[in-house]
Amino acid sequence: MRPSFLPRLVNGPLFDPVVYVRILNERKALLFDCGHFEGLAPRELLSLEAVCISHTHMDHFMGLDRVLRAILHRDKPLTVYGPEGITGKALSKLQSYTWNLASGYGLEITICEILHDSMHITRTRADAGFAETHRSTMPREGTRVSADSRYTLDAVILEHTVPCLAYVLKEPFHLNILKNAFAGRGYLPGAWVGTLKEHIFAGRMDELIPVDTHTGIKEVRVSQLREELVTTTPGQSLAFVTDIACSRENLAALQGPAHGADMLFIEAYYLHELKDHAGARGHLTARQAGMIAGMLDAGQVVPMHISPRYHDRLDEIRAEVDAAWRGASEPGGSMG
């Protein structure tokens, strides 16, 4: 299966945890946390449609300035998701610069502050000096914060001495194009395949689209092409979990939305030898990260945000994560 989400752990497993996810065939991307980072090109930042902040400790939030600098002149809006308090903190960051020459800038930023039973939505614009232009509150049930034709985004409120969000990005379903069914019907590969996918994702089954064929361009209905050429399989899912205590409440909250993630990005801040220290600071040890991956039945686990004190012991961190991951998926495996 050709993946639809192309994730990249921008800083690698050490340093601030930053995950950039490109949505294939669309000029769209999401960023999960933005502490200090260097490794994203301006064109990658320009594709960002949302920045998902876990919490506002500096190592997860300072890079929002860098994103802003890169996208300031674009018209496409940006959404910033974050936990309780994000509205005030993002606005004060945005308003801390001088905007007297920004009257022609069309950038709009929507800040979504995610609380247990509601979401505060605040809009602000560059040409208004990032003053608030609109504020509303909508009730929230469950963990869903956004849905469009290509992905859904869930946010789970967890505890890290402060509220901290874990995120789950899911593809509603995955489309597989049966290329070997082209020849018998006279279809030729071409850009129309992308158009077909877009229409199916958007549910526009009655549209006619121009299809390249051996006898020239032919108009064919989306519903017919779907029947002839497309199968669907469960969509891809990614989970981003960082800076959380290994508490019963946190694990229970993660279990539903993050279960079965194909790829789990998870902090492994300390080796388990420092589990008391980790607990006091609301962090996970590598063993706990591995056990959580097992509990969630993750397809792949990517440890990240490893404490500077272990930067020369990365192999030990990885080994501890893997041993606990394997142990947790065996009968009798237990949390510790």
Nearer to Zn ion, 113 or 243 (CB): 243
Q: How far is the CB of 117 from Zn ion (least distance, A)?
A: 24
**Residue range at the interface with Zn ion (CB under 5 A); choices 1-9, 237-245, 247-255, 289-297:** 237-245
Nearer to Zn ion, 37 or 187 (CB): 37
Who's near 259: CB < 8 A, 6+ residues apart? 296, 297
Residue 33 binding Zn ion, by CB under 5 A: no
Residue 36 binding Zn ion, by CB under 5 A: no
Site for Zn ion in 44-63 (CB under 5 A): 57, 59
Q: Which amino acid is at 140?
A: R
Residue 243 binding Zn ion, by CB under 5 A: yes
Nearer to Zn ion, 59 or 154 (CB): 59
User: Distance of CA 187 to CAs 91, 200, 207, 317, Å?
Assistant: 52, 18, 18, 51
User: What does DSSP assign to residue 320?
Assistant: H
Nearer to Zn ion, 36 or 123 (CB): 36
Q: How far is the CB of 242 from Zn ion (least distance, A)?
A: 6
Who's near 190: CB < 8 A, 6+ residues apart? 211, 212
Nearer to Zn ion, 59 or 108 (CB): 59
Closest residue (Cβ) to Zn ion? Answer: 57
Nearer to Zn ion, 109 or 321 (CB): 321
Q: How far is the CB of 315 from Zn ion (least distance, A)?
A: 22
Say how many residues make up the chain.
Answer: 336
Q: How far is the CB of 29 from Zn ion (least distance, A)?
A: 22
Residue 281 binding Zn ion, by CB under 5 A: no
Who's near 302: CB < 8 A, 6+ residues apart? 9, 13, 263, 264, 265, 266
Q: How far apart (Å, rounded) are the C-alpha atoms in residues 192 and 218?
A: 11
Residue 140 binding Zn ion, by CB under 5 A: no
Q: How far apart (Å, rounded) are the C-alpha atoms in residues 173 and 233?
A: 6
Q: How far is the CB of 241 from Zn ion (least distance, A)?
A: 12
Give the closest residue to 287 by CA, choosing from 319, 245, 310. Answer: 319
Q: How far is the CB of 292 from Zn ion (least distance, A)?
A: 17
CB atoms closer than 10 angstroms to residue 332: 6
List of residues contacting Zn ion (CB under 5 A):
57, 59, 243
